[in-house]
Amino acid sequence: MKDSATIAKSGKETKTPNTSSAVQGQTVRVSGSIAVLEAFIAEEVDTIFGYPGGAIMPIYDALYDYQHKLNHILVRHEQGAIHAAQGYARASGKVGVVFATSGPGATNLVTGLADAMIDSTPVVCITGQVFAHLLGTDAFQETDVINITTPVTKWNYQVTDATEIPEVLAKAFYIARSGRPGPVLIDITKNAQLQQFDFAGYKRCAYVRSYRPKPIVRQEYIAQAAAMINEAKRPFILFGQGVILGKAEKEFREFVEKSGIPAAATIMGLSALPSDHPLHVGMLGMHGNYGPNLLTNECDVLIAVGMRFDDRVTGRLDKYAKQAKVIHLDIDPAEIDKNVKTTVPVWGDCKETLPLLTSLIDQKVYPQWLQRFKDCMQEEEKACINAELNPTTEQMTMGEVIRELNDLTGGNAIIVTDVGQHQMVACRYAKFKQSKSNITSGGLGTMGFALPAAIGAKLGAPDRTVIAIIGDGGFQMTIQELGTIMQSEIDVKLLILNNQFLGMVRQWQQLFHDKRYSFVNITSPDFVQVAKGYGIAGKSIAAREELRSALSTMLQHKGAYLLEVMVGKENNVFPMVPQGCSVSEIRLR
């Protein structure tokens, strides 16, 4: 035990211990902070998003000597850290990692935790906490982080003793990434970060006795589902993020192609199947495509893969697919029958269940049924898509910006969207060639998500072009992260679609509240000047003639670039399933 001997002699800890001797069955004396960083290395973490503060200083001190192994991105606000970690996780398929201090640092994570929880994003957050002996004394920057975050974490745990750290972190990573992924928060008191203990090496966790990440696949349900699919006349597939999280894109595509069944994506499922796939019939939901919504109420078998029947997808539940038999493939047993009654539940990881199902179904085509979707699409094009993508209005539309962008990127970019009208337009019209290309705040609808998430996405997928499409409202919610882009030189393209309104709320006020525009009229700073202040190049355009060249300049620019496009102030997103209506009551205008 050379290391500990050295430590004992010098009376001073070596900063980066040779932990390889720990792997060989011996122990090394290290601090809790070093144990945290060693855990990260063992878990193949390469990037941390964080912000230091009093209660996490020992970890940051240890990090000083780990900079060559761990890339720490200093954000401007902890909300930015967690959204960046989410973007990183969604673009890379790996676990996003966050550091924050106690008190306000930890509470600033809550929105991102809620977002990651509802969108099943694997994130591990480490928060500093006051010394264990101060817990419950209203100490400086003490908050009860564990209890605040319990409803918005898949699992959380408070460490007060350094000896717990290796095992707890192993559990944290395992729980975050396995089964239905989700956020995990580990709160570590300052004394545990400082405490020296005998580190016996890091063992990754593969089992927690009370936790079943995936249910056992039941062959009889697979057989029942296959029989139902084989007898169907008008089957319809709905797919969600489960396909992406399960890394089952290939298995899903094989299932779709053999079955010949038209498939529509939830907003979170977009890019799991290429947009131009002949059986991809569009997007579901309140602002989804006409056919997928309308024909949900005409299909005879509905096959839901890795999606959870959110109310924005189903509309009015008592009029949702009542005529159809429902097959639901999901890894989370609690999702079965939660919103829509299932005829056959196919529990399990879709990477396992889809191939089993594919092997039992007949190779088929449904030309007439598929034609119905095409007819609907034509109708939708006439009623609203053409006017959105090729407008004759003087002012630009959001849709035409996305159309030009598709043209220039060829559908190869990662599109990160914020929340609101621009999000719906981007998700409706953006083309995706490969998986993990659509990153948006789906379930929580977190304005301010896109800017930090794009930073994370770029770091998670450095070889890809990352374009954040953001409204003028949402951009101002996390605008401070421009500082992160500047400091860490993140090559993200920021495309602001500015309609000078909080557009989605304005649309609802127009449609449902007699045009009483209550506090939706938002003014913005000169975004290009703001960007310039951060050393980020940019341009603002209002004329259609400039659009293509401006987009092309943005894409070709080396490094971050901000492009603001002024669009029509009172444009609406259509089609729309008004709240409280059935999906078949979708309106085209």
Residues annotated as catalytic (active site), given as ranges: 78, 140-141, 190, 504
Cβ within 8 Å of residue 429, ≥6 positions away: 388, 389, 399, 402, 403, 406
Which lies closer to other proteins via its Cβ, residue 169 or residue 485? 169
Rounded to 5°, the CA angle 151-156-161 comes to: 150
Choose among 93, 183, 171, 173: nearest CA to 145. Answer: 183
Instruction: Give CA 80 to chain center in angstroms.
Output: 14
The CB-of-583 to other proteins minimum distance in angstroms stands at 13
* DSSP classification of residue 239: E
- CA pair distance 186, 67, nearest whole angstrom: 22
The CB-of-237 to other proteins minimum distance in angstroms stands at 25
Q: DSSP of 300-324, one letter per residue?
A: SEEEEES----HHHHBSGGGSSTTS
Which lies closer to other proteins via its Cβ, residue 394 or residue 514? 514
28-31 and 196-199 beta bridge pairing: antiparallel
Cβ within 8 Å of residue 548, ≥6 positions away: 404, 407, 408
For residue 20, count other CB atoms closer than 10 A to its CB: 11
Q: How many CA atoms lie within 13 A of 15 on its CB side?
A: 10
What is the contact surface with other proteins in residues (CB under 8 A)? 131-136, 146-147, 150-151, 154-158, 160-161, 164, 167, 175, 190-191, 207-211, 316, 332-334, 337-338, 511-512, 514, 578-581, 587, 589
Judge contact between 28 and 14, C-beta under 8 A: no
Output the six-digit token pair for 389. 């993508």
Judge contact between 422 and 475, C-beta under 8 A: no
The CB-of-163 to other proteins minimum distance in angstroms stands at 9
Output the six-digit token pair for 433. 């060639």
